[in-house]
Structure formats: structure tokens, C-alpha cells
Amino acid sequence: MQCKETDDGLPLKENDDGDKTNWLSSVQLWNSDFNIVDHNKKPNTVSELKLQLGGSQVATPKQIKEVMQVDDLTNDEVKSHLQKYRLHIRKLPPSSTRNQCSENMKSQSGSPQCPLTVSALAKGMSSTGGDSMDGEEDEKSDGLSWRSGVHKPGEIECIVR
């Protein structure tokens, strides 16, 4: 397993209130989550955040706003951004987004992101070939289970090799 253990490498962003542009900076960058971890952040503040909200997939705009302690934002705003966030997370599941996929997959076309192939491979591509996206694992991946504390049994993590 030369794969990285976790996925997101939250760079930690200081979320200060101000204009939406500011808070957006945190979310827009897909830091994985709103790292509004202020005060003495513990080793797993982000995880807590995720547990707190139950995952971006089930987090409610209002709660997010509350947690973010931003009163400049409205539910609609958070809602919209949350939508975007979900979309991205749903399509490009966080995982071993390591290198290797660049030079390797170069043969195809310009398909970066190997997680896609990986997912399809791992899943065996359902039957109808398509990339119908089962959404099952994807959702679970960053939805309920998430890797907050315990590791999931068998996931499409390091099958990239």
C-alpha cells in the first residue's frame, strides 16, 4: 500500500468573516470542508466537523451556516455552494488522488483524474457499461461512513497501485 492513508489534505484555512468572497475562498477551494476550526484545534477537528454535520452529503445548509458562525450568509447561499461541493465530491470522490495517473493515463486522451477509472474498475462497471455511477459507494465514501475515525472495510482506495 503505497497509497496515502487519507484523501483530503486539508491545508487549514482561516475562515474569517467578511464578504462571501472570503468564506468562499475556503469552500471554493474544496478544502474538503469548512475548516472553521478555530481555537485550539484538536488533531481531528475536521473530522469532528464532518461528524458534526454528518458529512457534506447530509449536512444541512443551515447547520453549516451556524457552524461557520457566519451571519453574513444566507441559507440560499450556503445551499448553492453546498450543491456545488456535493457535485464535485460526488463526481470526483476523494481518495488516492495520487500521481501516477498522469503519465499512465496519458495514453487515452487528457483524462486526468484516475479515480474515475479506478472506481469503474473496482466496481466492475456494473453491467450496462456505462458510467452510470452507482452512487452507492460514492455516497458512502464521503457521506455517512466517511473515514473520520475508523477505516472502512474494503474500499476503492489503493487499488490504483
Partner DNA sequence: GGTGCAATAT
Partner DNA sequence: TATATTGCAC
> Cβ 14 to DNA, closest distance in Å?
18
Residue number with CB closer to DNA (23 or 157): 23
> Cβ 96 to DNA, closest distance in Å?
22
Up-side HSE of residue 109: CA atoms within 13 Å toward CB? 1
Residue number with CB closer to DNA (83 or 104): 83
Residue number with CB closer to DNA (142 or 157): 142
Of 92, 69, 65, nearest to 80 by C-alpha is: 65
DSSP 94-112: -S---SSHHHHHTTTSS--
Residue number with CB closer to DNA (3 or 113): 113
Residue number with CB closer to DNA (2 or 76): 76
Residue 98's Cβ-count burial label (10 Å; 0-12, 13-18, 19+) is middle
Instruction: Tell me which residues touch DNA (CB under 7 A).
Output: 20, 24, 28, 58-63, 75-77, 79-84, 86
> Cβ 153 to DNA, closest distance in Å?
26
**How far apart are the C-alpha atoms of 72 and 88, rounded to whole Å?**
24
> Cβ 102 to DNA, closest distance in Å?
18
State phi, psi for 124 to the nearest 5 degrees: 85, 10
**How far apart are the C-alpha atoms of 107 and 54, rounded to whole Å?**
39
> Cβ 84 to DNA, closest distance in Å?
6
Up-side HSE of residue 68: CA atoms within 13 Å toward CB? 30
